[in-house]
Amino acid sequence: MDYVTPAGFRDVLSDEACTRELIARDVQACFAARGYLPIETPTLEVMDVMRAGGRMPGSPFKFFDASGDLLAMRPDVTLQVARMCATRLAGSRDRSASATCSACSARPRAVCRRRRAR
């Protein structure tokens, strides 16, 4: 038996995991300070949606769901955020909707600078 991780995956040990979590928290705090709220999108997307969005993943990870639809792992969240804005948040007065969909717009990006005490 070969005890290795699948291609494209690796173990993340404590030091790196802690550093990654701190960076993620800092980024989340920057977005929260500007009124953005968190959203979550599925890791898997229906292949037809990805084709319609012009995003054909090079991912070797493809699955079939219970309905027989071909699913693929998303390469990033761009398509999922656009799909969410178009189908679930259009015209919504929800703060998360306006903040999320404004991220899809062409407005200038705010730069987050955070001073760290050493």
Give residue for tokens 């977005």: 31
C-alpha span between 35 and 84 (Å, rounded): 18
- Give backbone dihedrals phi and psi of 23, rounded to 5 degrees, phi first: -65, -45
pLDDT of residue 93: 61
Q: What is the pTM of this model?
A: 0.56
Our CA angle for 63, 84, 78, nearest 5°, is 70
C-alpha span between 17 and 13 (Å, rounded): 6
Provide the residue-wise pLDDT of the chain in tens; the chain has 118 residues: 788 887 778 999 999 999 999 999 999 999 999 988 888 888 888 888 877 777 665 666 788 889 998 888 777 777 778 778 888 777 666 655 555 555 544 333 443 444 344 3
pLDDT of residue 94: 60
Which residues fall within 8 angstroms of residue 95, CB to CB, at 6 or more apart?
35, 37
pLDDT of residue 6: 78
